[in-house]
Structure 1
Amino acid sequence: MNTEQRREIFRRFQAANPHPTTELEYTTPFELLIAVILSAQATDVSVNKALRKLYPTHNTPEQIYALGVEGLTPYIQSIGLYRTKARNVIETCRILLERHGGEVPRTREELEALPGVGRKTANVILNTAFGEVAIAVDTHIFRVSNRTGIAPGKNVEQVERNLLKLVPEEYRMDAHHWLILHGRYTCIARLPKCWNCMIADLCEYEPKTPLPEKGV
């Protein structure tokens, strides 16, 4: 795949969705941080459902830390790995209060020092909350990057590096959101919806999945 093909792919993504963003519901960087921590190996739908009950009364580090693990657990027990996540969230709130004045830090190093925050989560915060060029490679983005040929790589670090190098500069800020949405709804894992794909003619995946027959 060459530069012009990649540029056309992202031109189409932008034309279809000019202002893409996360499907996690949040109003502050802190709310986004907690949502992303909770979203590991869980759906955004399940996280949003839980946080709609939590955030109206507890949406600051002070308020959530005051709940403690036992107090937080009932709000998030519908989310996978909720016990570990509850401990991580409470410890993250403690660190934010003690080291960062209750604010979400803006550097990768400080973000990755928070419990439950790895490189992928840090990239989401840097990009979505703080408007920096960063690409968080999850399973969807890893699959789409390799399957289409946009930015192949053997692991998530390789794919991230290749995306930052190969995605045309004018599209890098929003590339993460376009790719994750494409992987979530069109270029799905088991059977990609090639018949309904806006970049099928530019994609290197073969064979393309045909339109399913009615009743199948």
Structure 2
Amino acid sequence: MRLLPALTVTALLSVVAPASAQTPANCALANAVDSSSYATLAMDGWSEAAEDNAAFDWSECRAAALRRSLSGNPKLSARIDGLRRQARQLRALEGQFAGIRAGGGTLYGHAVPRSFPMIEEQLAGLAALARTTLGAQTGQRYATVIAQARRDHAAYVATLRAYKPGPDETYSTYNAAEWKALVSQYEALGRAVMTTLGTRTDAATALGYSMLTSTLFPADGDF
């Protein structure tokens, strides 16, 4: 049984929370090494859940560290926190879309928390740029990157909106009303990211727009 759209994102975003609560994250380690190294050193044996938890914990530790580093810049900190929520929700919905098209499977849920380290790395870069003159530099190159990201995101949404299972896709769990609602939610999140980032054609904004196109799964075709 599938969850209702309003609950799906929450469920996917919290998929690793119970196990993480039982085994506290080692933030000293997470802040010292990359996410892959953290997983190697922090997991007590490999399992899908353990890998999910390691990715989630590393990301939460790095998010807390970034938030502390931005304590003197509350406006930027709030923008970064907003972008984190929005990006995680986008990845969760991408997993939901892929799962529906594939007729279910755990792969799509596991991919969501494992995408969080990349989000955190992007946010760290964005925050670093936003605090320097490098991030404020404007130019046609950055304008082009932003415009292309907007086009790519619009094309992704359009492809999702046009999707209907083909005759050979008997495994799909597609429901037209649910799909439409999820696509609308995804489109609204994309607009929210753009609003958070703003319209300046500078380096920091261009980097932020890459979060719109760092999708987990394609909108159509094989994956």
TM-score, length basis structure 1: 0.30
Higher RCO by CA contacts (8 Å cutoff, separation 6 or greater) = 2
